[in-house]
Amino acid sequence: MTLKIRSSIAMENKAPAVVLPMDTASIPGTIQPVNENKIEIQDFSFYYGNFKALGNINMLVPANQIIAIIGPSGCGKSTFLRSINRMNDLVPNIHTEGQVCLNGEDILGQGVDVVDVRRRVGMVFQRPNPFPKSIYENVAYGPRLYGIGKSHGLDEIVYNALKQAALWDEVKDKLHQSAMALSGGQQQRLCIARALAVEPEVILMDEPASALDPVATLKIEELMQTLKETYTIIIVTHNMQQAARVSDFTAFMMIDNPQTRTGVLVEYGPTAQIFTNPKNKQTEDYVTGRFG
Ligand code: ADP
């Protein structure tokens, strides 16, 4: 096993019931996950009212890697992603069981500053959703809200975020023009810049390229490779080629049965393994296009 398990889990004198992205040594082309875990999900279940949408999910997410979540529609991918920054709190009548730890701290715990969790775990949505404001104001909005940039200047933060999002060169001469005039791909990179401007640690992406053309999609995928040097990225994608291209690890989810329809994590491992040598028959059927 190449992943480090946090000592709090390892010391429990029992094998952690946590799905590890293992066996990387034997898989050509995979990256050795030597990083600390950024996120640890333990026995996590999620309910919309009485409906159990996610059941007993265990997963370790190493820092500075890209994790793809794949699975058929309705298996709970978005619900799972939104649980990682408590975005689901906005839905009435939900409750959770288990833990979602960020840097070892349970973000579901009582007294957690949810606004701060959402700053540390940023989110990019399927459709680019810039504010109807200027490009500059879109990026400056978050830092202003959180009081970031008072010391080293908002202009510098905006520049850095746009630069990191590979958008600076395209917009540097029109920072004060409306963001709505940008192309879809540029708007999505602006939304990424907006997320980066508040100094997050993790970026969640919910099908970030599904509304974009192939060229804009490629730009987002290239950008992800740069961003992972600084951030941990979790992406939900319907596009299996995209998951195979961009991610280091892939998590395959499915509903447990057609009656209960609870989403479960079927298999999690190095992307090359999931796509070429899955351990689970359901994973194999899905990645080879036999269902879903
Ligand atoms: P996926 O992203 O894999 O398509 P979702 O997370 O969107 O799956 O949905 C998982 C399950 O939760 C589905 O059965 C869906 O109908 C249900 N669901 C999603 N959002 C809500 C909601 N706000 N209220 C009640 N049920 C929901």
Give distance in angstroms: CA of 57 to centre of ligand 1: 16
pLDDT at residue 9, rounded to an integer: 35
**Cα separation of 184 and 211, whole Å?**
8
Q: What is the pLDDT of residues 59-84, one digit of tens each?
A: 999 999 999 999 999 999 999 999 99
Predicted confidence band of residue 227 (pLDDT cuts 50, 70, 90):
very high
pLDDT tens profile 3-19: 443 433 333 344 444 56
Range with the lowest mean pLDDT among 33-37, 193-197, 230-234, 266-270? 33-37
User: How many angstroms separate the alpha carbon of residue 240 from the centre of ligand 1?
Assistant: 20
Atom of ligand 1 nearest to the CA of 82: 6
Report the chain's mean pLDDT, rounded to a whole number: 89
Q: Is the pLDDT at 20 greater than 70, yes or no?
A: no
pLDDT confidence of residue 110: 87
pLDDT band at 30 (very low <50, low <70, confident <90, very high): very low
What pLDDT does 47 receive? 98
**Residue range 85-96: average pLDDT?**
95
> What pLDDT is attached to residue 148?
84
Average pLDDT over every residue of 188-203: 96
Q: If pLDDT is split at 50, 70 and 90, which confidence band does 155 have?
A: very high
Amino acid symbol at 41: I
CA of 53 to the centre of ligand 1 (A): 7
Q: What is the pLDDT of residues 232-260, one digit of tens each?
A: 999 999 999 999 999 999 999 999 999 99
Contacts of 107 (CB under 8 A, 6+ apart): 84, 85, 86, 100, 101, 117, 121
Alpha-carbon span 256 to 246, nearest angstrom: 27
pLDDT in tens, 116-144: 999 999 999 999 999 999 999 999 999 99
Question: Is the Cβ–Cβ distance between 238 and 214 less than 8 Å?
Answer: no
Residue 135: DSSP 8-state: H
pLDDT number for residue 150 = 72
Q: Where do the domains of the chain lie, and which CATH numbers do they carry?
A: 7-287 (3.40.50.300)
- What pLDDT score does 80 carry? 98
C-alpha 126 to ligand 1 mean position (Å): 15
User: By alpha-carbon position, which residue is closest to atom 5 of ligand 1?
Assistant: 76
Among protein residues, the one with the nearest Cα to ligand 1's atom 27 is 48
Which DSSP category does 69 fall into? E
Task: Return phi, psi of residue 186, to 5°.
Answer: -65, -40
Per the CB < 8 A criterion, the answer to whether 201 and 120 are in contact is yes
